[in-house]
Amino acid sequence: MRKIIHVDMDAFYASVEELDNPGLGGKAVIVGGSLEGRGVVSSASYEARRYGVRSAMPVSRARRLCPHGIFVEARIERYAEVSEQLLRIFKEYTPLVEPVSLDEAYLDVTGLEETLGDAGHIGRQIKKRIKDELGLIASVGIGPNKFLAKLASGLKKPDGFVVIKEEEREEFLTDLPVSKIIGVGRVTEKALYKMRIYTIGELRQRPLDELVENFGKWGNALYYLSRGIDESPVVAEWDPRSVSRSFTFERDVKDLLAIRRELYRLTEDVTGHLKDTGVKARTITVKIRYSNFKTITRSITIVPPTDLTEMVWRHVDTLLKEKVTLKDKAVRLVGVTLSNLAPAVTEEFEQLCLFKGLNTSLDEKLQRAADRITKKYGSGSLKKGLLLP
């Protein structure tokens, strides 16, 4: 039987801001990519959430809901730095660590009882170390699979610690609302309500063929998840053949600008990783997961390979606009993957670049200059027009 831990940092971006500026402690802190106009909230402290402020909400609406809130510009590089410190703690216990985003990860601790103690002991140790060493609060969930572990981590936020045992899984799920199933957004929830299904226990009573008839492949997943069954493995972090980042909206969104902004931030993240590791990418992939859990990917392969944020972004934006259907569809998750990697400098591609003329050279010079500025003065020193009001 597997033992999976899910660690989910509480109000991560806002908590890091409070860590770096203790004067923010206990206040309604709202972190956003752009603090004016059509900017979007990236994170909100629990004090701000009491006023209805949520991630992916327009900053303008957050200001109306919480006019006394303290609005702080997002510092992705700083959050990534703290995230790396978290990963180092996790990897002291197991190499099977799957980061989902900067603020959450799965750990497979199966079979470590004799050396490190049971999963509950390991989970409490990790939770304590995060607080003692980083000054941050995490919610920890433990279960026999990823679904139950993630469900457990979200049940008693903030500062939660919940264990779901194998023999308790069906009983534990029975009275929970169907919205607690990972992937059940407003669209699926509404469809289930029409079928008079309100709890996971009620969902469990429906036959597989009925769910598949109504929800397709997602119906198959609902059938097994309602029984607490999830066979998906914990996938270790690093695949040397690709670099991926994804973002799950707290609420399904239809706003194209909000979707583009998150994709741009992910593009900045993955291209930054390429520069740090000295590689460039030939293939660019955009992933979109709709509210009904249908997932599509669209890719393009380019020559020469690149690690330039703006070059990758042009292709990401084009793929989104020309290859992805968004009309009247709510989006749950977006992702960017760079693959087909090559060393940053090779003679083959230097020769190819000669045929691209002055414009490519100028593009690269401008991007490198921008990189030097942001490295010296911080990520907020230059702004993409997309992120401005």
Q: Measured between alpha carbons, how far is 210 from 208 in angstroms, rounded to an integer?
A: 5
The answer to whether residue 166 is catalytic is: no
Q: Are 35 and 71 in contact (CB under 8 A)?
A: yes
* Burial of residue 92 (number of CB atoms within 10 Å: 0-12, 13-18, 19+): exposed
| Radius of gyration for the alpha carbons in the chain, expressed in angstroms and rounded | 22
Q: Measured between alpha carbons, how far is 30 from 250 in angstroms, rounded to an integer?
A: 15
Alpha carbon 381 to chain centroid, angstroms: 24
Residue showing tokens 């410190």: 85
DSSP for 90-134, written as a single string: HHTT-S-EEEEETTEEEEE-TT-HHHH--HHHHHHHHHHHIIIII
Among the residues of the chain, which ranges form H helices?
12-20, 46-49, 59-65, 76-91, 113-116, 119-129, 146-153, 169-173, 186-194, 200-204, 208-215, 217-225, 256-277, 309-323, 347-354, 357-377
Q: Measured between alpha carbons, how far is 333 from 248 in angstroms, rounded to an integer?
A: 4
Query: In angstroms, how far is the first alpha carbon of the chain from the final one?
Result: 51
For residue 306, give both structure tokens. 């690149």
**Paired sense of beta strands 104-108 and 97-101, if any:** antiparallel
Phi/psi-derived region of residue 91, left when phi > 0, alpha when psi is between -120 and 50, beta in every other case: alpha
Q: Are 148 and 164 in contact (CB under 8 A)?
A: yes
Q: Which of 26, 28, 24 is nearest to 41 (CA)?
A: 28
Q: Which residue in 47, 104, 262, 268 is the catalytic one?
A: 104
Q: How many CA atoms lie within 13 A of 316 on its CB side?
A: 26
Active site amino acids? 104
